[in-house]
C-alpha cells in the first residue's frame, strides 16, 4: 500500500474509535460509527491521481471495521450502513451542483458521461454477485451506491466544477 493510503487510514482509525452505549443491563456494547468514519476518511482524501482507490479504501475499511466491532456478525448491517451513507453523501454532492442531471452518470443517459476510472469500467452486474453473508438486495444497493458515489467524487474534483463542491 502506498504511504498516502496508509496515512488516510491511520488518521481515520485514530480519529474515530468505537462508541460504547449502555445496554439495558448496563453493559457497554461497542458500536462503530460508520457514518462518522466515512465522513472523516473521505475528507482526508486529497485530490491526487490515486484518489479513487483511496476513496474505495475508506468505504471498504468502514465496512470491515464496523463488522469487526460487532465480532464479525454484522456484515449485512455494516454494508447497509455504508450504502446508506454513500447514497446520502452522493445526494449532498449533487445538491452542491445546481442543475446537475444525474443521467450523465449513466452511459445510457441522454448526455452519457465517460469518466476516467481506470480498471473500474461499469459496475458489475450485482445480480450475478453473491455473498453468503449478504442478501442480494444489499449487494446490489452497496454496489450501485459505491459506483455512483465514486463517479460523483470524480466530478466533484474535476477542473470544471466550481463553488463549494470542488475540493
pLDDT tens column, 12-29: 444 444 344 444 555 555
pLDDT at 90: 96
Whole-angstrom Cα Rg for the chain: 17
19, three cell numbers: 462508541
Q: Scanning the structure block, which residue is given the C-alpha cell 485530490?
A: 47
Which DSSP state fits 18? E
List the beta strands (DSSP E) in the chain.
18-19, 31-32
55, three cell numbers: 476513496
Residue range 158-163: average pLDDT? 59
pLDDT tens column, 52-111: 999 999 999 999 999 999 999 999 999 999 999 999 999 999 999 888 887 777 764 444
Question: 0.85 cut: is pTM over it?
Answer: no
To the nearest whole percent, how much of the chain has pLDDT over 90?
51
Amino acid at each position: 500500500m502506498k504511504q498516502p493510503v496508509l496515512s488516510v487510514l491511520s488518521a481515520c482509525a485514530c480519529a474515530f474509535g468505537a462508541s460504547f452505549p449502555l445496554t439495558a443491563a448496563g453493559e457497554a456494547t461497542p458500536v462503530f460509527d460508520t457514518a462518522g468514519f466515512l465522513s472523516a476518511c473521505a475528507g482526508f482524501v486529497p485530490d491526487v491521481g490515486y484518489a479513487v482507490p483511496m476513496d474505495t479504501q475508506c468505504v471498504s475499511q468502514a465496512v470491515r471495521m464496523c463488522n469487526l466491532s460487532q465480532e464479525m456478525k454484522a456484515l449485512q448491517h455494516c454494508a447497509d450502513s455504508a450504502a446508506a451513507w454513500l447514497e446520502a453523501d452522493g445526494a449532498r454532492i449533487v445538491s452542491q451542483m445546481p442543475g446537475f442531471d444525474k443521467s450523465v452518470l449513466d452511459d445510457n443517459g441522454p448526455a452519457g458521461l465517460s469518466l476516467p476510472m481506470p480498471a473500474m469500467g461499469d459496475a458489475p452486474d450485482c445480480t450475478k454477485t453473491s455473498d453468503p453473508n449478504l442478501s442480494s438486495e444489499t449487494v446490489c444497493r452497496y454496489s450501485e451506491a459505491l459506483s455512483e458515489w465514486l463517479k460523483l467524487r470524480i466530478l466533484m474534483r474535476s477542473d470544471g466544477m466550481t463553488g463549494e463542491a470542488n475540493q
